[in-house]
Amino acid sequence: MRAIFAFLFVIAFAASASAQSQKAKSREELMQQVLQAALGDIQNARCGSDRCAPATAEEKKNPPLTLSETSQVLGRGLFSGGADICGLEWSKRNYEPMMAYWRKQKKTERQLTLISIVHQIGMQQIQKQIGTNCPAEMKKDVESKLDFKPQG
């Protein structure tokens, strides 16, 4: 099932990325596209108590998250989205502990907002790809990996 979930991830984001721009050639390019999409939407979110300022050209050139961080967060978003499809509690098991972890890493409010947006992109993409059907095998796979554990 891990292979199926990973395959769906690649298909979902390749389809999304190619619809928005040219097709990603590597995982790195895919993460860059996700990060740029999140930066493009940041002005619609809150950074603390205020609305976030739009991303600057400099910020887009040198994003406040690494591609590795983006990949980690996106992956957690995929599990949250899968959990949502399968009727599992994802916020307290995955999202909230993940955000607490990033706060402990001393991320700024803007970075935390960007992390939240990347997580949401992951959720939306898997939900868009899979729909509302939750096969038993997928539910079992998501259930086994849903609880957030920091990497490394």
17-48: pLDDT as tens digits: 444 445 557 889 999 999 999 999 999 999 88
Q: What is the mean pLDDT of the chain?
A: 86
Question: What is the model's pLDDT at position 21?
Answer: 45
* Residue 97: CB atoms within 10 Å: 16
The pTM score is 0.84
| Number of domains comprising the chain | 1
Q: Is residue 151 part of a domain?
A: no
Strand-pairing partners, residue 50, are: 47
Q: Which domain holds residue 41?
A: 2-145
Q: Kindly write down the DSSP assignment for every residue of 6-49, as one continuous string.
A: HHHHHHHHHHHHHHHSSPP-SHHHHHHHHHHHHHHHGGGSEETT
What is the rounded CA–CA span in Å between residue 149 and residue 152?
9
Q: Does some domain include residue 152?
A: no
CA pair distance 77, 81, nearest whole angstrom: 6
